Amino acid sequence: MIWTPATARAARRIATAAALGGGGVTALGAAMYVLLNAEAMVARKLVGRPHGMDGPASDGLYGEWPAHAGGEPARPITMVMLGDSTSVGLGVTDPADTPAVIIANGLAAAAGRPVRLDVFGRSGAISADLSHQVDRALKTRPEIAVIFVGANDVTAKVKPADAVGHLREAVARLREAGAEVVVGTCPDLGTIRPIAQPLRWVTQRWSRQLAAAQTVAVIEEGGRTVAFADVLGPEFATYPGEMFGPDRYHPSARGYQRSAYVVLPSVCAALGIGPEAEPERGEGSQSIYLAAAKAAEESGTEVTATHVAGRATGPHGRWAMILRRRPGAMPRSA
């Protein structure tokens, strides 16, 4: 795993600023700022909106409805999906291909109970939009909330601390209501081909720093994170024609399937379904900032809070642990 101490330091600065209500943004020279804006305009034009702004309607009941021993039907698990276009499956037409439905079906199979799914994510959403989404989600009394957010904060040049602060508030409200929370952190936008250099390098740096800071905030509020990092592994780099949709920005049905498979084990674990994963050798309890920085560099890693000698915090902040629950490699389509 390749990571830099600078990412850990940046995560700490951003997360601290978010907790204190500060702003904070990477400083850029005037000439570089103008260049990046120009590159961003070109990228937006190349990506366009070939899929419109809506994903397929995915709310509903998923999985079989078995009866308990006494004959009463099993109560469904209530799940909500929040976030941006990746949370709604923008670009696919069949609800079964959206990450929310794939996760719901997988959770239902693992739990032996149906899952009641409500999707409140919105294409184009930034972290500030989570507040309204949480307002709606809490009306369903969710047991598990899954959040995919961060990419639009980077492309819209939202101050990192502002974005993280909104995510922290959303997770805190969901946790206070009794919901478990799993957040898919900001993907590495440096892998998106329509984004040219030097914008690609800058967005890579920003997105990884944001992902690390998101991890710190989510763990501190009692949630779990799963790193999307380099857009979910070697399949995206090796088979971009299969993993990305026509706009080369949003995932294809296969790409969404991969993202859902990465998150599903952590969703099950958050609800106490299935065995807990063990940390890999050399990845025991460590500072949350160090764990967040490492996770931001490798897709599929989960970060969760832990204790050392009965204590939740150490000399460098909260203790955290990196887990890897990645599924086996997906078969290549014919």
DSSP string, 133-146: HHHHHHTT--SEEE
247 assigned to active site: yes
Check if 85 is active-site. Answer: yes
Task: State how far the Cα of 243 lies from the Cα of 248, in Å rounded to an integer.
Answer: 9
The whole-angstrom separation of Cα 328 and Cα 68 is 33
Instruction: State the Cα–Cα distance between residues 3 and 322, nearest whole angstrom.
Output: 14
Q: Residue 281 burial (CB < 10 Å; 0-12/13-18/19+)?
A: exposed
Residues in Cβ contact with 313 at an 8 Å cutoff, skipping those fewer than 6 apart: 319
**Cβ atoms of residues 272 and 114 within 8 Å:** no
**CA dihedral for 327, 212, 295, 267, sign (positive or negative):** negative
Q: Which of 153, 188, 250, 299 is catalytic?
A: 250
Query: Are 159 and 166 contacting, i.e. CB atoms less than 8 angstroms apart?
Result: no
Beta strands 224-226 and 180-184, pairing class: parallel
Question: Of 218, 63, 236, 232, whose CA–CA distance to 146 is shortest?
Answer: 218
Among the listed residues 153, 127, 285, the one whose alpha carbon sits nearest the alpha carbon of residue 209: 153
The encoded tokens of residue 123 equal 């294409």
- Nearest partner of 222 among 254, 178, 255, judged by Cα: 178
Dihedral sign of CA atoms 171, 303, 183, 202 in order: positive
Q: How far apart are CA 157 and CA 155, in angstroms?
A: 5
Which of the following is catalytic: 51, 58, 84, 85? 85
Beta-bridge mates of residue 324? 301
Active site residue 250: yes
Q: Compute the half-sphere exposure of residue 237: CA atoms within 13 Å on the CB side of its CA.
A: 11
Q: Which active-site residues does the annotation give?
A: 85, 247, 250
